[in-house]
A and B are shown apart, each in its own frame.
Chain A
Amino acid sequence: MRHHLVLRVVAKLLIPFILIFGLYVQFHGDYGPGGGFQAGVIFAAGFILYGLIFGLDKVQKVAPPAWIRVLVAAGVLLFAGVGVAGMLLGGNYLDYGVLRHDPVHGQHLGILLIEFGVGTTVAAVMITIFYNFAGRGREDR
């Protein structure tokens, strides 16, 4: 793709907006349409586009596979951890009402954190899948 000047310039212009849109879908998810899953996919799309245009090596310099793999686990841990936090604070598993003094605030915070966990894992998994397909035929990293 080295010679496709238009693609390279457009991608560079677009990627920041894709990432911001991903974050918007993520954190505005409790007011408007959106949520962790969609946000994760959009966010990962930014990385995947970068990888498609500039090559696997470059994108792996930005997001090393080992780190991405840590993020896969971290997202799940965040989700499960918020549930356990609810349990430790005296509620049931995944009861966010007890996270703050005011149950409404608690529910708010809980769903925000949980969705962030979902988003992290989904984005990381999407990028990992891309790495695995794009890296086929290369030596196992």
Chain B
Amino acid sequence: MIAEHLPALQVVIPLLAAPVCVLLRRPGPAWALATAASWAAFGVAVLLLIAVLEQGVLSYHLGGWEPPWGIEYRVDLANAFVLLIVAAISAVVLPFARRSVAAEIPEEKAYLFYSMYLLCLTGLLGIAATVSSLSSYVLISLGKDRRALTAAFQYLIMGTIGATFYLLGIGLLYAMTGTLNMADLAQRLPAVSDTRTVHAAFAFLVIGIGVKAAVFPLHLWLPNAYCYAPSVVTAFLAATATKVSIYVVLRIVFTIFGPAYSFEVIEADLVMIPLALAAMLLASTTAIFQNNVKRLLAYSSVAQIGYMVLGISLGSVTGVTAGIVHLFNHAMIKGGLFLALGCVFVTLGSVQLRDMAGLGRRMPWTMAAFVIGGLSLIGVPATTGFISKWVLVQATLERGQWFFAVLILASSLLALVYVWRVVEAAYFRPAPEGAAEVSEAPLAMLIPTWLLILANVYFGVDTSLTLGVARRGAETLLGGAA
């Protein structure tokens, strides 16, 4: 009986746990409940992926109403994979959260933090953009630095504009087809696709969700938001939120409109490819000049999103595979890196480059984790970053675009520069005079960090799960509306 309800349980478990957290009122029990709920959600995500691999598409009718009248949750390989990413990151991040939240968030607000976190998880797992964005605004504003408030407000404004655009797009599509169900939309659209309304809808949808996904040049909210949010929130959102948005882009471009329409009629790739390339180069260059390491990684995220968009807009199976596999790999990379930074922040109280001087000796495990994560970010062989870039380069060469391949390599070199700056500060510079005595971060934080970092190495060697699922997901997406 449980099996048929998996798609609903995925969302219901964190949704139920969130208000219970409010009732618990104390940080300890609230944390325990959030962790339990998150692990349960991870379990459900694993079962879902297995079920989809065995039986194909699962369809769940909320409230028992048949689609297209009722709301349908449709789980195929692509979103089962995204669900797995989100749930896995959350399951790793929460054990880390206990010490980190205790250090960064006032004790009397901690239970509300966990409740918000669970709501955000609910939103991300249910692909309910409003729930997850509203709660992520709150989560970001909880940062210790007062600038977190302006960062959250900036994100709120940008995010709301994005959501409005998205809704406008949906409204236009509804006006033309009279349905909101994705599969139904895909069926009815071809009949009316050559109208200006549908063209406008496409533009609204892609731009609206592009703001959420921080696609260059709509990424301006991202560096501040990641920089001033509490460490846990940065790690969680950086690894998941933009990924879910990218997934929505995939759905819009491939499932609703279909690749033929998106790339041959609208020619969206003519816009998306240059922007993706610009993101890779410009954001990486900006990252080099940052002195706050969190902000440095935030800019690097913008560049990484460029890789995903590039993969998607190549429109071939290999390209989309690269995009999807990078969703997973980048979640591992950035999740691990931001957790390592969280360790630094809790013990050192700062993530400025100059304060991190000489840290390699004082916090050997944390910095070692950062270095491995950094190598993966650059794309050194035997790490996940390499796999993503390898597939992406293959995809560009398939299309005969060797020039893109060169730019990907150039962007990797830029990544080398900004990762090196941190390594240089941590290992080759002496600790500043009068620096606070710090020792290694607590084990409860190191273990989750290393878990993600080792996942980087593992999935860099054994790619059967990630690449296999991503390729099959890409084939489903490109195979039409299925």
CA distance A94 to B73 in the complex (A): 13
In the assembled complex, which residues on chain A have CB atoms less than 8 Å from the CB atom of B22? 69-70, 72-73
Find out whether the CB atom of A95 lies under 8 angstroms from the CB atom of B63: yes
Query: Which bucket holds chain B's interface residue count?
Result: 10 to 19
**CB of B11 to closest CB in A, whole Å:** 8
Could you list 24 A-B pairs, sorted by A, with CB under 8 Å? A72-B22, A73-B19, A73-B22, A74-B19, A76-B19, A77-B20, A81-B16, A87-B5, A87-B8, A87-B12, A91-B64, A92-B5, A92-B8, A92-B60, A92-B61, A92-B64, A93-B5, A93-B8, A93-B12, A93-B62, A93-B63, A94-B62, A95-B63, A97-B64
Q: With CB as the reference atom, state the residue of chain A lying closest to B73.
A: A93
Asked if B260 is at the interface (CB within 8 A of a chain A CB), the reply is no
Asked if B91 is at the interface (CB within 8 A of a chain A CB), the reply is no
The one of A76, A84, A92 that contacts B18, using a Cβ cutoff of 8 Å: A76
Q: With CB as the reference atom, state the residue of chain B lying closest to A110.
A: B63
Asked if B372 is at the interface (CB within 8 A of a chain A CB), the reply is no
The one of A70, A72, A83, A91 that contacts B12, using a Cβ cutoff of 8 Å: A83
Asked if A43 is at the interface (CB within 8 A of a chain B CB), the reply is no
The 0/1 profile, CB within 8 Å of A marked 1, for residues 36-63 of chain B is: 0000000000000000000000001111
Asked if B23 is at the interface (CB within 8 A of a chain A CB), the reply is yes
Asked if A96 is at the interface (CB within 8 A of a chain B CB), the reply is yes
**CB of B333 to closest CB in A, whole Å:** 34
In the assembled complex, which residues on chain B have CB atoms less than 8 Å from the CB atom of A96? 63
Q: With CB as the reference atom, state the residue of chain B lying closest to A95.
A: B64
Find out whether the CB atom of A77 lies under 8 angstroms from the CB atom of B62: no
Within 8 A of A (CB), among B1-46: 5, 8, 12, 15-16, 18-20, 22-23
CB-CB under 8 A for A73 and B61, given A84-B12, A93-B8: no
19 further contact pairs, Cβ within 8 A, besides A70-B23, A76-B19, A93-B62: A69-B22, A72-B19, A73-B19, A73-B22, A74-B23, A76-B15, A76-B18, A77-B20, A80-B12, A83-B12, A84-B12, A86-B63, A91-B64, A92-B8, A92-B60, A93-B8, A93-B12, A95-B64, A97-B64
Find out whether the CB atom of B5 lies under 8 angstroms from the CB atom of A80: no
CA distance A93 to B65 in the complex (A): 11
Residues on B lying within 8 angstroms of A by beta carbon are: 5, 8, 12, 15-16, 18-20, 22-23, 60-64, 115
Find out whether the CB atom of B19 lies under 8 angstroms from the CB atom of A92: no
In the assembled complex, which residues on chain B have CB atoms less than 8 Å from the CB atom of A74? 19, 23
**CB of A122 to closest CB in B, whole Å:** 14
Main secondary structure of the interface of B (DSSP, over half): helix
In the assembled complex, which residues on chain A have CB atoms less than 8 Å from the CB atom of B23? 70, 73-74
CA distance A72 to B18 in the complex (A): 11
CA distance A70 to B25 in the complex (A): 10
**CB of B314 to closest CB in A, whole Å:** 38
In the assembled complex, which residues on chain A have CB atoms less than 8 Å from the CB atom of B18? 76
Find out whether the CB atom of B16 lies under 8 angstroms from the CB atom of A80: yes
Within 8 A of B (CB), among A48-96: 69-70, 72-74, 76-77, 80-81, 83-84, 86-87, 91-96
**CB of A78 to closest CB in B, whole Å:** 9
CA distance A69 to B24 in the complex (A): 11
In the assembled complex, which residues on chain B have CB atoms less than 8 Å from the CB atom of A70? 22-23
Count A-side interface residues using an 8 Å CB cutoff.
20
CA distance A48 to B171 in the complex (A): 36
CA distance A43 to B61 in the complex (A): 34
Find out whether the CB atom of B16 lies under 8 angstroms from the CB atom of A94: no
Q: With CB as the reference atom, state the residue of chain B lying closest to A88.
A: B1
The one of B19, B20, B63, B115 that contacts A94, using a Cβ cutoff of 8 Å: B63
The 10 closest A-B pairs by CB, nearest first: A73-B19, A95-B64, A93-B8, A73-B22, A76-B19, A94-B63, A92-B64, A77-B19, A80-B16, A73-B23
CB-CB under 8 A for A84 and B16, given A69-B22, A72-B22: yes
In the assembled complex, which residues on chain A have CB atoms less than 8 Å from the CB atom of B12? 80, 83-84, 87, 93
CA distance A83 to B22 in the complex (A): 20
In the assembled complex, which residues on chain A have CB atoms less than 8 Å from the CB atom of B16? 77, 80-81, 84
CA distance A76 to B8 in the complex (A): 16
CA distance A73 to B60 in the complex (A): 27
In the assembled complex, which residues on chain A have CB atoms less than 8 Å from the CB atom of B115? 73
In the assembled complex, which residues on chain B have CB atoms less than 8 Å from the CB atom of A84? 12, 16
Find out whether the CB atom of A92 lies under 8 angstroms from the CB atom of B20: no
CA distance A73 to B63 in the complex (A): 22
**CB of B58 to closest CB in A, whole Å:** 12
**CB of A20 to closest CB in B, whole Å:** 28
Q: With CB as the reference atom, state the residue of chain B lying closest to A76.
A: B19
CA distance A87 to B7 in the complex (A): 12
CA distance A74 to B20 in the complex (A): 8
CA distance A78 to B15 in the complex (A): 11
Find out whether the CB atom of A80 lies under 8 angstroms from the CB atom of B15: yes
CA distance A86 to B477 in the complex (A): 33
CA distance A20 to B18 in the complex (A): 31
Q: With CB as the reference atom, state the residue of chain A lying closest to B122.
A: A80
In the assembled complex, which residues on chain B have CB atoms less than 8 Å from the CB atom of A93? 5, 8, 12, 60, 62-63
**CB of A134 to closest CB in B, whole Å:** 19
Q: With CB as the reference atom, state the residue of chain A lying closest to B62.
A: A94
**CB of B92 to closest CB in A, whole Å:** 25
CA distance A104 to B162 in the complex (A): 40
Q: With CB as the reference atom, state the residue of chain B lying closest to A91.
A: B64
Find out whether the CB atom of A73 lies under 8 angstroms from the CB atom of B20: yes
CA distance A69 to B25 in the complex (A): 10
CB-CB under 8 A for A92 and B62, given A87-B5, A87-B8: yes
